[in-house]
Structure 1
């Protein structure tokens, strides 16, 4: 008799899996944030991911920047992923490369350093850039985009109501165990999704990052929260299934830890530029790009074969969320 798989043996609730990519312009791992003139060759590599859906039944959520929607080179590849692989087309705001621009933007010296943080950007300018992005998505999709991720994880509570005003119902801009200088503090954010009480109807679904022990995370945060070193915790004190940040063994360990802790959603992501040889410091050549794809495929195959999982897009998960009875934002420090 064949031994039943772990998934077949399981009597617990399934684990929902959201596989997403930030689909964006190139050059972002160079320390520059150019407002124009950026390539999008990486988008042409998206069809390579088709087996993740066709073989393993994990549909992709593609969080797309304005540079991608406005590129005649990139749009056919997005359409192919949507029409042939059931990928969701979602919104990813790189506000520094989304019109309208400030007077300095577009000049040769603009983009040499990190862009201004969204919570101090003029509110109306941020609103206009968000609308520009969503209008470009509507033009491409023929329907409004409802899922969102902010570039650089740069979403504070002051910005969230704008998303609801523009029709966004799902956000994935929170990365737990991270603190960004001058930006959001997501360190103590939970792993499971929650309803945002100051933005009615908005479901926040954090990227999966788990502390080795919750007490260790709280201790580190309390001791170092005002120091730059607080953001080093995710290098040594955390596990995640995110394939560029961690090895496959750590990705598997993160999955097992999530299940032991009763997690119901696993969310992993990478950048489209990380599929392009030389597109980031982590992917210097074709061998590295091939290895990353193989790691992702092998991990998702392991996940499918060993656990009771359901692959969903962000929008599909948002439709299910009311029946899963998630709570509102837990009390705690930070801006998430």
Structure 2
């Protein structure tokens, strides 16, 4: 019997983008080798979904080229529209509002996808096959561009999560509502990315499960609606936030028990650096993160096999 895949996805981007609104630094590139070594210890192969500022950082480029050369992971594309070239201001202050790529005119969306794809392929001398949208915002036009540029896999879908209450452009409608999207991998319908179809683009949704029963979630959301609040159901992700290793195991175990043929983990590259995110503020919290990762990876190594997104795609098309 084929073991389920363990897919590690890292949104590889600048330092502390949650709080910085006027500049970008990329010191977290120096902290990635430690994480890479941990992955290799357990035979796992991370996917570094790479943003513009990291793709032009010489330290990261050297690290990533080594990963590619040793077939120890994969480099994919990640795109934050508000500063990824070509420059095309959408709001009064894009750095502050961080508009979603899907909020831009279609010609601008195409230009940014074109630029990032060519930059990554020229820099790393390898075809870009995998992608995750910045701020999880995705739609049918975006998916059509990925197919056109030869991408095989997207992993932007976050089941049960509605990003509509997370604004980008203040005049916009917020992010993508994924509450009715599939939880397992599927080839996307070109006309409706929320359902399976016959396109060549494989969607690999994040491993996310509801915290509460359907009844309890309906009660909570009904109460929120009465208060004028639009919230997603409470969920658990396969994602560290410090001291949550048992919850991560439960998410993975639930996926496997439901017959999923993969579990998908995510973190931001800046979260490996003390002070690189609001979540891990100092060295002590980073050490807690690594203790959790050691336990999680050890547990998963007995139940899964490490695959990149591109390798998982090949498994699905065989």
Note whether the superposition's TM-score is higher than 0.5.
yes
Counterpart-to-counterpart distance in 1, 2:137 and 2:67: 27
CA contact (8 A) 1:41 1:74 kept: no
Q: How many residue pairs get matched?
A: 300
CA contact (8 A) 1:93 1:151 kept: yes
CA contact (8 A) 1:56 1:300 kept: yes
Counterpart-to-counterpart distance in 2, 1:121 and 1:244: 32
- Residue 295 of structure 1, CA deviation: 1.1
- Residue 94 of structure 1, CA deviation: 1.1
CA contact (8 A) 1:220 1:230 kept: no
Match of 2:109 among 114, 121, 126: 126
RMSD: 2.5
Moved more, 95-104 or 54-63: 95-104
CA contact (8 A) 1:274 1:283 kept: yes
Secondary structure, counterpart of 1:190 in structure 2: coil
Secondary structure, counterpart of 1:97 in structure 2: coil
Normalised by the length of structure 1, the TM-score is 0.82
CA contact (8 A) 2:242 2:289 kept: no
Equivalent residue, structure 2, for 1:326: none
Equivalent residue, structure 2, for 1:331: none
Give unmatched runs, 5+ long, in structure 1.
1-11, 324-336
Secondary structure, counterpart of 1:28 in structure 2: coil
Match of 2:307 among 298, 308, 312: 312
Counterpart-to-counterpart distance in 1, 2:121 and 2:203: 22
In structure 2, do the counterparts of structure 1 residues 56 and 103 end up closer, same or farther at CA, with 3 Å as the change threshold?
closer
Give unmatched runs, 5+ long, in structure 2.
166-173, 192-198
- Residue 93 of structure 1, CA deviation: 0.8
Normalised by the length of structure 2, the TM-score is 0.86
CA contact (8 A) 2:61 2:124 kept: no
Equivalent residue, structure 2, for 1:186: 178
Secondary structure, counterpart of 2:59 in structure 1: coil
CA contact (8 A) 1:95 1:129 kept: yes
Counterpart-to-counterpart distance in 1, 2:117 and 2:242: 29
Secondary structure, counterpart of 1:113 in structure 2: helix
C-alpha distance after superposition, 1:118-165 (max 9, x if no partner): 333011111111111111111112122010001100112342111111
Matched, 1:247 2:233: no
CA contact (8 A) 2:28 2:273 kept: yes
Matched, 1:16 2:17: no
